[in-house]
Amino acid sequence: MRNLHNDFSVIKAKLDVFSSMSNWLNMMRMIVDGDTTASEHWWVKKEYYYLFGKKTLISILDLSRNLCVQHHILNDSPDSKVFRHAISFASHMRRFEHLQNPWGENTDKEVDLESFVDIHINNFVNGINFPNTMTKF
Q: Given the rule CB under 8 A, which residues bind another protein?
A: 6-8, 11-12, 14-19, 21-23, 25-26, 28-29, 32, 45, 48, 51-52, 55, 96-97, 99, 111, 113-114, 116-118, 120-121, 124-126, 137
CB of 30 to another protein, least distance (A): 10
For residue 24, what are the contacts with CB-CB under 8 A and spacing of at least 6?
49, 53
CB of 5 to another protein, least distance (A): 9
- Structure letter (DSSP) for residue 105: B
Q: Measured from the CB atom, is 86 or 99 closer to another protein?
A: 99
CB of 52 to another protein, least distance (A): 5
Helices (H) and strands (E) in the chain, counts: 4, 0
Q: Give ∠ CA 83-4-81 in degrees, rounded to 5.
A: 10
φ, ψ of residue 108 in degrees (nearest 5): -140, 90
Q: Measured from the CB atom, is 8 or 76 closer to another protein?
A: 8
Q: Measured from the CB atom, is 73 or 93 closer to another protein?
A: 93
| CB-based contact 133:101 (threshold 8 Å) | no
Q: Measured from the CB atom, is 26 or 129 closer to another protein?
A: 26
